[in-house]
Structure 1
């Protein structure tokens, strides 16, 4: 296949710019997306972070900008300030490397609105990179005009949906010219997102990029079944036994982030927290302090941390499995970057094993480990416990504890107590099973009578 970077449809300046930033071979997503965008076709692209998707849409968009026209020709949205800023920096890098005279504006919520206004008033941007809320604000108040926009990109569309920004995007898309090319990039394509995109994109090109290496091969990805142990205490052991360069702990809610931060601080660790409830000023200060090495541990929520690119994360801990399993990939992907080794540990209880099986089916491999003598050691992979043949008379976890202890020497009468507890447990379960059979038989007889 011919290298799309060297296509005669790509301006020589951009080809030189790609060479200047050492982009010589396109990734799979770039190979598939760039030619379609050059044809001005609407596309829905499913591709994970790290696949090269940003340049897949930036290259053809920069290629299409008419430098002589002083109005907005392309709009790119990202759901968080951090993601929008990353996109802005990457766009500027390619523009400068190619020597293009293109004005790019970055407008995002949580930053100085008046300063952004002055920049737009002084020079109308040819490309706008924005968060949905601030973009809505500027368009609704007629600060920014979309009359000549040729390309509109929704980056991280699934996250845009999760964060409740689809109404803002809906407002924007309704005001775009009819011939605008619309592109959506997303790690997953939920049904609600599909229905939304169909509203504005008639038979778009569907491009799905398979990513066989869901987790980078440089990452050791471990799983700890904590059983009846304290999840917080296991977390503290993990964070202190190996002294990671920088550890990132993920929790599902702001409340849990606050709770864990307080706990770890009380245990004497210097811990920073990042979640949607902290102010933008505090957030920026925290990130600067983390990058300066003032913190060794960071506790974060998913939506707050996605898009952050903190260098040097050597350990990621999933304190709990996220409701959306897709976030597991984003969490683990915070470590092991740029070819460096990384380590991820997920804490679970046995009832969560089915969710782990679902992740393994998607291509994520876990190694079962346990903490022994202050270090992680491999343990037998007990994916299922059917082999223990508890199907007929399943024993409570409380009773299992007794069973395990039966081998140890105890005070007189201890074994008798265990046997009696097991016996009573079986009797109780037998009674429950018998009641269930009686009720089932009654229901069947009633059903026959009703016929």
Structure 2
């Protein structure tokens, strides 16, 4: 007997869609599906903050499918995704639900990097009812009036924070301005930065804001380690990590495509069979590489952040953050590539001491790290770096030399010894401030140089 309180059996959902969900084993809704589906069925605008893997895709696909009038041959719903990989994923999921439900919905996949002329031919042959698109290609087709958007019922922005990060909000804005006033708006995002919130409120007067858990928390199935490489060669540390545990599939993240190329070559020179994925490789090469990874032809993949948000690679047992990204939220998405579907995962972030402040920022966001070091070919626990910092803070006023000086002066009890100690402390603090200022100047120079290199 069906549970009548189950979101998937809501009487407002078409029977074919209910049967299709059951066919693909969607019998118990996730938290995000429980909250979002009834809200969208009630035609309420919604902003959803939910972690990757929480089931948000079907949370909006069900109401979108339910809204489409099969007898009307025009674009009734649009779903945007910031990368072609994500758009393709959504298209595949939508096709799967269409097949299971038997609803003959015309779905069009529009993405940059794909054959535009072929897409035009498809639209001429059959007008789409649902469009799944990247922002740039969507705007291109809307501006050239290849299809009309004045009768769109549902407009969904998936991975909205990534859309912002990649600079696509302006494209979305230009399309959204052409939509009817009664369109249902829904935005799904792992995080809601202020700039994104302000943009969304431009089109949603009183949205229902749904927050499912804290997206910054790493899944409990993931062992999340932090490794200070110190003065060691970082590439050699990476090689050691990749080879000492023999992971089923290891994913290494770097910040730029140049660094991805560099690490791939280094690891290949060490005899490892390594695949690389970043925005600089062709679509054909990307698909071929992913197919080879899925077939188990590669044990190691080096990728840029695009892959962290745009690809869903099964079986990742180890994630290594070779570099801490400029946008700290990307760390969460990177680590989230492992430990999926309840399986155990392992993530290691490589840092140097000057990056510790960024780790503190991540911890404030809710990311917990276990501090480790490599000993005898194994990762073993080490003391939390802040314990050392706290100990140093207690002794900051008096270093070893001054502590001895104080003890000596106290024993002698000569007149004026307190003034001498005070002067010594003041001089020592002055010297320390000079050193700290010098350190900050050098650090700022390093950061500017790093930004210039990343910008190239």
User: When the two structures are superposed, what TM-score results if normalisation uses the length of structure 2?
Assistant: 0.84
Which whole-Å CA distance do the structure 2 matches of 1:5 and 1:434 have between them?
Answer: 63
- Alignment check: 8 A CA contact 1:353 1:383 kept: no
The residue number in structure 2 matching 1:56 is: 59
The residue number in structure 2 matching 1:432 is: 431
- Alignment check: 8 A CA contact 1:274 1:305 kept: no
Give SS of 2:87's match. helix
The residue number in structure 2 matching 1:387 is: 391
Give SS of 1:125's match. coil
The residue number in structure 2 matching 1:26 is: 29
1:379-436 superposed Cα distances (whole Å, 9 cap, x missing partner): 22333422144512569xxxxxxxxxxxxxxxxxxxxxxxxxxxxxx99956625989
> How is 1:312-391 mapped onto 2 (pairs within 5 angstroms)?
312-384=315-387, 385-388=389-392, 389-391=394-396
Which whole-Å CA distance do the structure 2 matches of 1:108 and 1:123 have between them?
Answer: 18
- Alignment check: 8 A CA contact 1:275 1:305 kept: no
The residue number in structure 1 matching 2:253 is: 250
- Alignment check: 8 A CA contact 1:29 1:209 kept: yes
Shift of residue 363, structure 1, vs aligned partner? 3.3
Which whole-Å CA distance do the structure 1 matches of 2:331 and 2:383 have between them?
Answer: 23
Shift of residue 279, structure 1, vs aligned partner? 2.0
Shift in CA distance, 430/100, structure 1 to aligned 2, threshold 3 Å:
closer
Shift of residue 87, structure 1, vs aligned partner? 0.8
Q: Does 1:65 pair with 2:68?
A: yes
List alignment gaps of at least 5 residues for structure 2: 401-424, 436-456
Which whole-Å CA distance do the structure 2 matches of 1:281 and 1:101 have between them?
Answer: 29
Shift of residue 133, structure 1, vs aligned partner? 0.9
1:135-163 superposed Cα distances (whole Å, 9 cap, x missing partner): 11111111121121100001011101111
Shift of residue 264, structure 1, vs aligned partner? 1.9
The residue number in structure 1 matching 2:272 is: 269
User: When the two structures are superposed, what TM-score results if normalisation uses the length of structure 1?
Assistant: 0.85
Which whole-Å CA distance do the structure 2 matches of 1:227 and 1:48 have between them?
Answer: 33
Which whole-Å CA distance do the structure 1 matches of 2:282 and 2:32 have between them?
Answer: 36
Shift of residue 354, structure 1, vs aligned partner? 3.3
Worse-superposed segment, 191-200 or 131-140: 191-200
- Alignment check: 8 A CA contact 2:319 2:338 kept: yes
Shift of residue 112, structure 1, vs aligned partner? 1.4
- Alignment check: 8 A CA contact 2:51 2:215 kept: no
Q: 2:231 aligns with which of 228, 233, 246?
A: 228
Shift of residue 281, structure 1, vs aligned partner? 2.2
- Alignment check: 8 A CA contact 2:191 2:215 kept: no
Which whole-Å CA distance do the structure 2 matches of 1:428 and 1:293 have between them?
Answer: 63
Which whole-Å CA distance do the structure 1 matches of 2:398 and 2:98 have between them?
Answer: 68
Give SS of 1:262's match. helix
Shift in CA distance, 104/390, structure 1 to aligned 2, threshold 3 Å:
same
The residue number in structure 2 matching 1:164 is: 167
